[in-house]
Amino acid sequence: MFVRDYMSTSPICINSGTPILEALNIMRKNRIRHLPVVDKGQLVGLVTERDLLTVSPSPATTLSVFEMNYLLSKMVVKEVMKTSPITIGPDCSIEEASLIMREHKIGSLPVVEEDRLVGIITQTDILDALIRIFGLRKAGTRLVLEASDRIGALADILAIVREHQINVIGVACREKEEQRVQIMLRLSTVEPQSLINDLQKQGYEVKSVS
């Protein structure tokens, strides 16, 4: 699963001279929270809804509404945007995009290819990717097992699933303490009991079925 599969192509962009009130209106009209800033075809920054709202005067200000609107009308995106934003390539994995966002505490990544902006991927896009990867909108069964953390454990479990002619929609693993691993399977069946019985006979602990 790659960034190009889930990014928004042809993202709405603004230039650095765009008034911040106009940028905010664009966000609200299009129900987006991030705008790449492009000058002469080059990505020069990124502005978020939070950036724009942060520059609004405090409710405790002594300025009149007219004065506040006047000051805001004179401010442009260049004054508040993040310059040199972190970017990602379209052929990077969804996992890499997730890790970058988490480590840098950001909500989006402009997607750049050959110095050209080709898209943007957001936290919402990442969640959509996870929903699709794990087949959360498909009918089936979610099975959580515990097994010893050894080479071949997952392969052995999947072999048992194959014997029951059940398709695997999604798989996830999580390490636990004391050489144990927790394995989540999403299976294309609503009648998993015979599979569960065989897994238990082979010593796998079934923690959850839903």
pLDDT in tens, 41-93: 999 999 999 998 887 655 545 555 566 667 777 889 999 999 999 999 999 99
- The number of folded domains in the chain is 2
Residue numbers of the domain that contains 173: 141-209
Higher-confidence residue: 177 or 112?
A: 112
pLDDT above 90 covers what percent of the chain? Answer: 79
Give the pLDDT score at 43. Answer: 96
Same domain flag for 156 and 81: no
For the cut 90, the answer to whether the pLDDT of residue 177 exceeds it is no
Same domain flag for 106 and 29: yes
Give the pLDDT score at 176. Answer: 81
Residue 70 to residues 21, 74, 99, 113, Cα–Cα distance (Å): 11, 7, 41, 39
For the cut 70, the answer to whether the pLDDT of residue 32 exceeds it is yes
Q: In this structure, what CATH number is given to the domain that contains residue 11?
A: 3.10.580.10
Give the pLDDT score at 55. Answer: 77
Same domain flag for 123 and 174: no
- Global pTM reads 0.81
Higher-confidence residue: 181 or 69?
A: 181
Q: Is residue 136 part of a domain?
A: no
> What are 1's two structure tokens?
């699963």
Same domain flag for 17 and 52: yes
- Taking residues 128-144, report their average pLDDT: 91
Same domain flag for 113 and 159: no
For the cut 70, the answer to whether the pLDDT of residue 121 exceeds it is yes
